[in-house]
Amino acid sequence: MKQNVVDVLMFLFENIITNESQVFPENEHMFDHLEDLGFPQHEILLAFDWLEDLANIHTNLLSSSESNPVISTQSVRVYSELETMLLEPKCISFLIHLEQIQVITDVSREVILDRVIALDVELELEQLKWIIMIVLYSQPGEEIAYAWMENQLFDTNETNYLN
């Protein structure tokens, strides 16, 4: 089975990141452990870079929100050609659904889309849910949204939000 960066991120999040003591582990021991588990070196490095960039996005959002508070608008998000190439239609519908039921904000949606583009791989809905969880987990104040997503991800009864 070909492992990709999404698989590394999913493994890290499920087994390491949610351990409150260390949010984004990047050290030689973790790298070696992931490599021993069969993850390719290149994909491990990409995952670490992806997580580091996510942490930087959070820092940048905090500093920009102090000088420019986010203004809520009633605008409609038009997805770019790249976004529609990387996300199957069910993924885009799911993001729209999350916004409509106010699980994610327009800012968290943009962070999610930024991280999707950074992965540069086509995502299925299940993979997108993991990416959303990682993003929400990393953002202070998103605990309720994270808990909702966690229930969605591990709920065996698939919710049909497309009707």
| Position 153 confidence tier, pLDDT thresholds 50, 70, 90 | confident
- Compute the Cα dihedral for 7, 137, 109, 48 and give only its sign: negative
Q: What pLDDT, in 10s, does the model give residues 76-91? A: 889 999 999 999 999 9
| Position 73 confidence tier, pLDDT thresholds 50, 70, 90 | low
User: Is residue 159 within 8 Å of 79, Cβ to Cβ?
Assistant: no
> 50 pLDDT exceeds 60?
yes
Most confident segment among 18-22, 103-107, 138-142: 103-107
- Separation in Å, CA 163 to CA 75, 125, 160: 23, 16, 7
Most confident segment among 3-7, 17-21, 96-100: 96-100
pTM more than 0.85: no
User: Is residue 104 within 8 Å of 95, Cβ to Cβ?
Assistant: yes
The per-residue pLDDT of the chain, averaged, comes to: 82
Q: What pLDDT, in 10s, does the model give residues 106-136? A: 889 999 999 999 999 999 999 999 999 999 9
Q: Please count the other Cβ atoms lying within 10 Å of the Cβ belonging to residue 141.
A: 9
Q: What is the per-residue pLDDT for 21? A: 47
**Higher-confidence position of 123 and 15:** 123
Q: How far apart are CA 113 and CA 86, in angstroms?
A: 10
